[in-house]
Amino acid sequence: MTGLIVLDHLVKRFGDLVAVDDVSLTVEKGEVLGFLGPNGAGKSTTMKMASGFLEPDSGSIQICGCDVATEARAAKQHLGYMPEGAPAYGEMTARGFLSFVADVRGLSGAARNTALDGAIERTGLQPVVHQTIDTLSKGFKRRVGLAQAILHDPDVLILDEPTDGLDPNQKYQVRKLIDDMAKEKAIVVSTHILEEVDAVCSRAVIIDRGKIVADSTAEQLKLKLPNHNAVAIRLSNGDLAKTKKALDGLDAVDKVETVSEGDTVSQLRAIPLNGKSIAGDVAQCLTTNAVHPEELYVEHGSLDDVFRQITTSDTGGADA
C-alpha cells in the first residue's frame, strides 16, 4: 500500500535560504506523525507545501494518490488542513464559518448538516456556535480551526501547531480528539512541544535546517540518549566506594559516575551499555553487597534532550 501522504524530494528556497532541503516522507493510514523542529527549521513551509498552499521548487506531493500540483482539487477534497494559528473570518459566528467551509466544499442537504453537527460535537463547540469568532477564547478559536479541518471527514489531516497556546485541559481535549481519529486517517501534527509527541504520535520526525534529521518512534528517539535507562542511586557515603566497584563489575553496565557528593549521602549513576534495561541487575548487585540505597530510580531522559542533541538551528552548534 502506498501512503496517504507522500512527499517526494521536496525543495523550497526563499532567496538564498534553502527552507526545505530534499525532504521525503510517507505517512500511512493509522499513523499520527509528530513533525518536530526548532522555530524556522522548515516545519510550516513543509506543511504549506503538503497542503498545496505553497508550490515546491522541486519534488512532488501526493495526497491519497492525487498529485497536489496537477490534481489540486481532488487532492484538496481528501485533505483537512489547519494553518498555523487557525485563521478564521472573525466577523462570522462559529457555525456561520463552518457552514461557509461546508458550502465551499460542496456539501449540501442532509450530509451538510450531519457534517456540521458532527464537527461541532467532536470539537466541543456547542456552547459557542452562535458567537462571533472574534469574541471567542484562544482555545475555542483553535477548536473552530480544527472543526473546519475535520468537517468533511478527510482521509488526511495536516494540523500546524494544533495545541500551541492552549491550557492543559484544552491540550488534553485536542489530543484526545486526534487520538480518536487516528485509526482511520493519516495525521500530521507539527509542534515544538515535545510532550505532545509522547502523548499522541505514533511516529516522530525531526526536521532541522530544512533536512530530516530523525525519523522513528518517540521511544526509539530516546534510545539515542546516553543516559537512557540509566539507574540513579542515592546512598550513604559509607557505601559509596563499595557500590561503585561492584556496579563497575557488572557486564551490562558501561560506566558508573558520581553525580553528587554530599556530607552524608551521595548520588551515583550507572549507565548501561546500548541503553539496555539494567534495573534488575543493579538491584540484585546492591542486595548482594548489602547496600541499602535511600533512593533508586530509572532515568528515561526526555525528548527535550534528544531534541537539543540533534537540532542545532537556534544555537548554531551542538551543545548537548
Residues forming the site for another protein (CB under 8 A): 48, 51-54, 72-73, 76-77, 79, 81, 83-85, 87-92, 100-101, 103-106, 108, 148
- CB 85, min distance to another protein, A: 6
> Closer to another protein at the Cβ: 15 or 317?
15
> Closer to another protein at the Cβ: 58 or 258?
58
Distances (CA, A) of 75 to 39, 149, 193: 28, 14, 29
- CB 295, min distance to another protein, A: 50
CA separation for the pair 320, 318 (Å, rounded): 6
CA separation for the pair 61, 142 (Å, rounded): 26
Who contacts 254 (Cβ-Cβ below 8 Å, separation ≥6)?
Answer: 271, 272, 273
> Closer to another protein at the Cβ: 94 or 235?
94
- CB 132, min distance to another protein, A: 8
- CB 18, min distance to another protein, A: 16
User: Do the Cβ atoms of 270 and 233 come closer than 8 Å?
Assistant: yes
> Closer to another protein at the Cβ: 30 or 90?
90
CA separation for the pair 113, 181 (Å, rounded): 20
Who contacts 241 (Cβ-Cβ below 8 Å, separation ≥6)?
Answer: none
- CB 88, min distance to another protein, A: 7
Handedness of CA 86, 91, 95, 97 (dihedral sign): negative
Q: Where are the alpha helices (DSSP H) in the chain?
A: 43-50, 72-77, 94-104, 109-122, 138-150, 168-181, 194-200, 218-223, 237-248, 279-288, 303-310
> Closer to another protein at the Cβ: 84 or 117?
84
> Closer to another protein at the Cβ: 54 or 298?
54
> Closer to another protein at the Cβ: 86 or 230?
86
All 3 cell numbers of residue 91? 466577523
- CB 145, min distance to another protein, A: 8
Residue 288 CB burial class (10 angstroms; 0-12, 13-18, ≥19): exposed
- CB 175, min distance to another protein, A: 23
